[in-house]
Chain A
């Protein structure tokens, strides 16, 4: 069973349906027990880094993610759900950056590009050992974001480029994340979701 952490409004319906294409049972939930016990937990994310963290904190999401990783249970972060896996985010912060869950050390910072958000289909430079991108290394995925992690994190990194190089996918044992939206990336995105579900 796949749990999608529901910690606020946004389009979770697409994520639910996309993960359901694997044949797995999928639930949208903010129940900590279900989120902890599921075979895989998806942490989606919309809005700004800080509002996303507020939502996560309201459902005790930091402990859920940490506890799952301690118990070697897979977690997949998507978009802002990837960004908050890092220790710091500068979006909307006037001084000190906001704190993330902090699975990876690093700052999620504004992309240096003349037109933001980075919105649309872009390709990635896949890590040669990537499990998530296996068979879809050359495909384009749908991105919508203005901030990104630009320094290396985790065991395997796949990069993309918009104005500058940034992390598109991080695979680090039981925690993986994608800056793009696999649930909105057509057939290629569904294949990535299948790859992740097959790895559980």
Chain B
């Protein structure tokens, strides 16, 4: 018996459509989120993540509807992030059918939000999304907000330690330098965050070659998130799992219906 590595496709959603661009700009339409969620489920995704990048409140309402429709037909864990500012935002998403929520900017602005959500719903629902890049902070990694456009000056490792102490259940570490490049995960960053985190770590940003996934696991990631390589068909989820299984990582095989 062994815990399997989780492969998590991430769907960036705005106004009801999945989009994905390089370094969070040049958004390209990539498909219908509910259809894509079902497809990834059948292909063996171990979890799904929706990141709501809508700027408007009507866009957020659309996302709630997408979560509802997805939860009706997809029976694997679903994490939703983007624009969550309060306990009541979390409540709405969980009631719509999300299992976990990820928060980022709002927690940096007001860290107590982490404890408020964890106290109400338990740590297991809360993922802290850390958009980090290499910079001249103490650890050499800095937290950014607004999809990497804004610098916070906050050291990424100190932030992870603080978030863990406040009660997050999981860390989604997104390298803003590697995001969308398909040049590989930022291995140094994963190693550094792993050394201070006692909760599961999801690596994100930069997945390209199949060997990139294995390298992130070797650096200490428990789960691997990717978007563009899956959306545009560079790799199927089954390809990643077959590669990892061949290299002796534990992966889940999907039960045929």
Which residues of A are at the interface with B, using a C-beta cutoff of 8 A? Answer: 9-14, 17-18, 46-48, 51, 114-125, 136, 139-140, 142, 144-146, 160-162, 181, 183-191
Contact = CB atoms under 8 A, between A and B. Distances in A.
Most buried by B among A115, A118, A185: A115
B1 A160 contact: yes
Nearest to A189: B75
Binding site of B, secondary structure by majority: helix, strand, loop or mixed? loop
Most buried by B among A47, A188, A191: A47
Most buried by A among B2, B122, B222: B122
B77 A187 contact: no
Nearest to A165: B1
10 contacts: A14-B97, A47-B122, A115-B200, A117-B124, A117-B199, A119-B170, A120-B46, A144-B124, A184-B75, A186-B255
B194 to A, nearest CB: 9
B96 interface: yes
A122 B97 CA distance: 23
Interface of B: 1-6, 41, 46, 68, 71-73, 75-77, 91, 94-99, 120-125, 169-170, 198-200, 222-223, 252-257
A160 to B, nearest CB: 6
A124 to B, nearest CB: 7
Contact of B4 (A115, A121, A190): A121
A145 B122 CA distance: 10
A14 B2 contact: no
A24 B243 CA distance: 40
Contacts of A120: 3-6, 46, 200, 222-223
Binding site of A, secondary structure by majority: helix, strand, loop or mixed? mixed
A10 B94 contact: yes
A183 B169 CA distance: 20
Contacts of A48: 122
Contact of A9 (B6, B71, B91): B91
Contact of B75 (A116, A145, A162, A185): A185
A46 B75 contact: no
B3 A136 contact: no
Contacts of A146: 123-124
B223 to A, nearest CB: 7
B75 A18 contact: yes
B49 to A, nearest CB: 14
B157 to A, nearest CB: 17
B255 A187 contact: yes
Nearest to A80: B122
A46 B96 contact: no
B99 A184 contact: yes
A191 B169 CA distance: 28
Contacts of A118: 3
B1 A123 contact: yes
Contact of B99 (A11, A17, A117, A189): A11
A186 B169 contact: no
A157 to B, nearest CB: 14
Contact of B252 (A17, A47, A121, A161): A121
B137 to A, nearest CB: 25
B1 A122 contact: yes
